[in-house]
A and B are shown apart, each in its own frame.
Chain A
Amino acid sequence: MNDIAIQDKLLAKFKPHLESTTIRWYLVLIILVAIFGWGISGLVTQITGGHIVTGMRDNVVWGVYIVNFIFFMGLSYAGALVSGVLHLFNSNWRKPIIRMAELVTVISLIIGPFFIFFCIGRLDRLHYLFIHPRIQSPISWDVIGITTDLIGCFIYLYLSFIEDFAILRDQTSINLPKWRQKIYKYLALGYTGTPRQKKIIHQSRSLMSAMIIAIAIIVYSVLAWIFGVTLQPGWDSTIFGPYFVIAAIFSGSGLMIILMWLFRRIYHLEEFITKKHFVNMGVLLMVVASFYGYFTFCDYLTKWYGSVKINAELIDKLFAEFNWMFIFANYIGIIIPIVIIGIPQFRTIRNISIGAVIAVVALWVNRYIIVIPTLETPFLPIQDSRADWLSYSPTWVEWSLTAAGIAIFIIMFKLVSKFIPIISFSEMSGVEDRELKILE
């Protein structure tokens, strides 16, 4: 099938979605907005009542918000990995899924920092992070890093949109309102597919993909060092930088599989996103799961074997109070994906997707058991009479904001996929050194 034909097919496939919206789409949107509204009410409660409405107290000062922050930042690895690395390897099978990947990156990089904001006691002083920074602090590194990462990923995303905007600007098969046509025209930067233009875009994309990979690794390591540089038991681990990066790649690939499955279903993209994609991503998932399992085992083995008291206390707590979470995150979350993808008989699209869901949830639980048990076992024992000061339990405010974060994630995806197709036309058609013909 030649390139123009592929393009025509894609245009035809996405025509109904780009032209009009179904009632179902609106219904889902309303439900999501309602969830988002619940989260806002939680936020208002927190702002008016103070942070006492959350489960955080003097020892466990970081709770579900920070877990969500790390989790969402980890999801952004989908873009860095799938899009960036595979671009450098120039593999063809990545083409249908890179747009999803890049979108995930940008969206989760936007949502993630909001969870930090919820954790901050004085929201009216957020700008101090920019006007009074102390560069010795890992949080300052994080602020700089995330800002850089977000802008870089945004530029990268935009670069991949340009050609598609040009196609959408020029095509006539889909009826689009005038205002949308105008936007496409403006954002396409007058791209007409000349060799020079192609070269510029290709060069920039290669450059940015290399940058993205490097920045993503740096940013996530910096995030890991927020914990790693402290003296707290469990966090004072040299392995944290690479460990977090591997966990992020793991969650990123897991999310990619889930998104592939979702969009394949919604837009009926069976032709473009095939079993091969699932198996390839699945293999990636399996490999990363093994690495992740290896790192986890290293971390806990060395802690358990040594006799340092505070580490022993932490391990005891993990196997007692956090028992089921530990098993889910570090056994089930690792073994099931490996088994599903490792054994050929289990390798179906549905199974791989289920494996990915388990992996992603297990990673959220993993972040939880990294952050909270350490804070519950400080060097000086917590001697308090109140139960909520002795151990942490999230309140409805925190859950509502978590749900709102997930809701806004999905909402943003829905909105973007309405504006621009979820599979990159230009990428799929792979037009090389040929001018784009104005389609009749």
Chain B
Amino acid sequence: MNKLMIVKKFIIPIVLIISGFSVVGQEAPVEEETVEPVMEMTYLKDTEGNINLSSSMVNYVNRMPVPLPGLEIVFHAGEDSLVNLGSVTTDEDGWAIMELDDGISLPVGMDGSVRYFAEYTGSENILPADYEVYVTDVNLDMELSLVDSVKTVSLRAYSIIDGEEVPVPDEDVYVYVKRMFKDLPLGEDFLDENGEYITEIPDDIPGDADGNIEIIARFNDHYLFGTVEDRQTIQWGVPTQYDFAVSQRTLWTQIAPLWMIITLSVLLAGVWGHYIFVIIQLFRLRKIARKEESTSLV
């Protein structure tokens, strides 16, 4: 009873006073309403075989998503016994990316999948949120080769069960080329019974100045495997050089067309030349008058 009284009498008022100060100390009013965040998590196994768990926290205001930065997200793996993977704070875009170390041991479930779990424990005005995904580990290898001078991409997907490579058949896999904003799809199909897929890519894909392009093979947010990628850069693109010569002489560039400059200069020189001549004449007039005045005085 006593302890309760202490809490009621001291700690709560102190907390209220402190929070009151923090409100006063700030320039702009703080949002008082509780925020219900929406959390999502995606699994990515990148080209080096590292697993990345990306979790995003947004709050929908007027149907527009507003990212929530500065929140600590804790990542776990496993179902009954959770393995703590670490925690990351969301950046200014609301993303918290957890990169798992290579060779970390993850508890595998009965069906061969690993349960990844991200959680935000909540704060005074933000409600807690969590998200889970079940992902089966798979390996995706891509080989780029010229077969009869046709640019060929060969994919092979396999999982390792008891130390042996078991091909993964009949799952849809995609091939892309990396572009500035989103990747451009080049091919898509189901893997055959050997877990393989072979496709050709066209000859006219623009690359960088040297003709390099980055080819990506990917399981795209697969229901079993998550997102698994293999990327390779190769000089299979068309070299590009975009030359918008800004120093050209046009109406809309920095430097005017030559004829304009010449015409204007000639006109101005001609007109102002005459003006200066007349002004000089006026000064001469004064000089003459002064001379004649002095001679007449003599």
Contacts and interface: CB of A to CB of B under 8 A. Distances in A.
Interface of A: 134-136, 141, 144, 148, 151-152, 155, 158-159, 162, 189-192, 194, 196-197, 200-201, 203-204, 207-208, 211, 214-215, 218
Contacts of A158: 282
B282 A194 contact: no
12 contacts: A135-B264, A136-B257, A159-B278, A162-B285, A189-B282, A190-B293, A196-B288, A197-B285, A197-B288, A197-B289, A204-B282, A207-B274
Given A151-B275, A215-B271, A218-B267, A190 B261 contact: no
Contacts of A141: 264
A318 B267 CA distance: 38
B289 A207 contact: no
A211 B274 contact: yes
Contact of A152 (B261, B271, B277): B271
Contact of B277 (A192, A197, A207, A215): A207
A191 B292 contact: no
B260 interface: yes
Contact of A208 (B268, B278, B289, B290): B278
Contacts of B290: 190
Contacts of B282: 158-159, 189, 204
B292 A200 contact: no
A408 to B, nearest CB: 26
A73 to B, nearest CB: 18
Contact of B289 (A144, A152, A189): A189
Contacts of A155: 275, 278-279
B151 interface: no
A189 B275 contact: no
A189 B289 CA distance: 7
Contact of A136 (B256, B277, B285): B256
A144 B266 CA distance: 13
A155 B286 CA distance: 16
B181 interface: no
B293 to A, nearest CB: 6
Contacts of B286: 189-190
7 closest cross-chain pairs (CB), A and B:
A190-B289, A204-B278, A189-B286, A136-B251, A136-B256, A189-B285, A135-B256
Given A155-B275, A159-B278, A201-B285, A144 B293 contact: no
Given A144-B268, A148-B268, A218-B267, A191 B285 contact: yes
Interface of B: 251-252, 256-257, 260-261, 264, 267-268, 271-272, 274-275, 277-279, 281-282, 284-286, 288-290, 292-293
Contacts of B260: 135-136
B253 to A, nearest CB: 8
Nearest to B265: A135
A134 B147 CA distance: 57
A148 B268 CA distance: 8
Nearest to B250: A136
A197 B275 CA distance: 18
A211 B278 CA distance: 11
Contacts of A201: 285
A144 B286 CA distance: 30
A126 to B, nearest CB: 21
A296 B213 CA distance: 62
Contacts of B272: 148
A200 B271 contact: no
B181 to A, nearest CB: 28
Contacts of A159: 278, 282
B1 to A, nearest CB: 67
A200 B286 CA distance: 11
B278 A207 contact: yes
A147 to B, nearest CB: 10
Contact of B292 (A134, A144, A148, A194): A194
A152 B276 CA distance: 10
A152 B275 CA distance: 7
Contacts of B284: 200
Contacts of A144: 264, 268
A155 B257 CA distance: 33
B278 A192 contact: no
Nearest to A208: B278
A158 B284 CA distance: 15
A141 B271 CA distance: 14
Contact of B288 (A194, A208, A215, A218): A194
A200 B287 CA distance: 12
Contacts of A215: 271
B259 to A, nearest CB: 11
A136 B248 CA distance: 13
A305 to B, nearest CB: 31
